[in-house]
Amino acid sequence: MITLRPLRDSDAEDLAAACNDPLIQRFVPSLPAPYSLEHALWWIRDGAPTVAARGGQIWAIVDPADDRLLGSVATQPGTLGYWVAPWARGRGVATEATRQGTAWAFAHGYERLELTTHPENVISQRVALAAGFRSEGLRRAAEQSRGGGRHDMLVWSRLPSDPPGPTRRLFPDLPGGELTDGVVAVRPIGPADTDEMFALRNLPEVVKSNVPPVEMSRAEVEERCRLAPGGWLTGVSVDLGIWEAASGAFVGEIGLYYHEPPTGQAMIGYSALPAFRGKGYTTRAANLVAEWAFAQVGVMRLIAGTAPENIGSQRVLQKAGFVQEGYTRSRLPGPNGTRIDDILWARLPG
């Protein structure tokens, strides 16, 4: 499918064209902008050989049929990185190149490989998982941003003793991209949902149920929507929107939080716009998410909490098959330094 070989002068035009791609410029901020033919030739003749002299390797990823440049994969002691040209995306090029680069590194004595991805670069995160890398968390302000400032990076690693990829994900993709019963549709939240999520998140009754119970700025909601796809892949949380299936109207949100994989216990939380309350939409969404969590994620116990006065939310859980199990005093932070009680509900498979 691909061949890895050293960069050549004949790659310079394609290298310059690829490195001027907006996506590569965005996620590789160290590249010059614009990236000229002279930059490409310097990298081929001087930059890449210098990396090799220091124990690393820079490969051109090429099509074995016509030898055209498709991208690049690089290893330096302890690290690996990759990019793919826009004309070669969607073909599994980065995943296969990462596997081959990883095999070379381990064969040459590397005891650990680490790669980093921008939190918004979901495509690169999927490559890391497909190539057998495991998420290790967030490195704060790890990389210089283009134009100034710094941004966080997600850290992934692989050891020679790790089993072959792909890495098992805590949360698989939804079948067909959504869950639906014909009345409601539940789909992943993304950047396009910022306006609806901002309006929902700052309703007084929704703010009251937040932990902690404070309003979110538009910038905070926007960031949450941008990072939600990456949080799904790294196992942080599943952030979903609820839509009316017939009209496509935004109903609300529902989330799954799997903080106890060893015990098989996960938690859901939800909220809906006033116009859609009392219609059974949230109950339907809770049912869809619960059934998916049991069947596809492997959850063995699903919990939820409600404030004692939140009768509407309690009815949602009762209708969705949850059973009240307990009453926890002063469980959650309330407004102005107060504490509030919480009623515990749980649903089991079947």
| Neighbour order of strands in the sheet with 265-272 | 179-180, 184-188, 238-244, 250-260, 265-272, 301-306, 339-347, 323-333
Domain architecture of the chain: domains with CATH: 3-158 (3.40.630.30), 175-347 (3.40.630.30)
**In this model, does residue 209 exceed pLDDT 90?**
no
Residue matched to tokens 């969607």: 90
pLDDT tens digits for range 153-187: 999 999 999 998 899 999 999 999 999 999 999 99
pLDDT at 151 over 90: yes
Could you tell me the CA-to-CA distances from 75 to 30, 113, 224 in Å, in that order? 17, 9, 32
Per-residue pLDDT, 139 = 95
Instruction: Give residue 212's pLDDT.
Output: 84
Q: Which residues pair with 250 in a beta bridge?
A: 243
The pLDDT tens digits for 263-293 are 999 999 999 999 999 999 999 999 999 999 9
pLDDT value for 62: 98
Q: Which of 316, 321, 325 is nearest to 348 (CA)?
A: 321
Map tokens 């050989």 to a residue.
49
pLDDT tens column, 325-334:
999 999 989 8
Q: What is the pLDDT of residues 89-126, one digit of tens each?
A: 999 999 999 999 999 999 999 999 999 999 999 999 99
* 213 pLDDT above the threshold of 90: no
Burial label, 50 (beta-carbon count in 10 A; 0-12, 13-18, 19+):
exposed
Pairing mode, strands 265-272 and 301-306 = parallel
Residue 208's pLDDT is: 85
The rounded mean pLDDT for the chain is 95
Instruction: Report the pLDDT averaged over residues 327-347.
Output: 92
Give 2-32 pLDDT, tens digit per residue. 999 999 999 999 999 999 999 999 999 999 9
User: What is the per-residue pLDDT for 335?
Assistant: 85
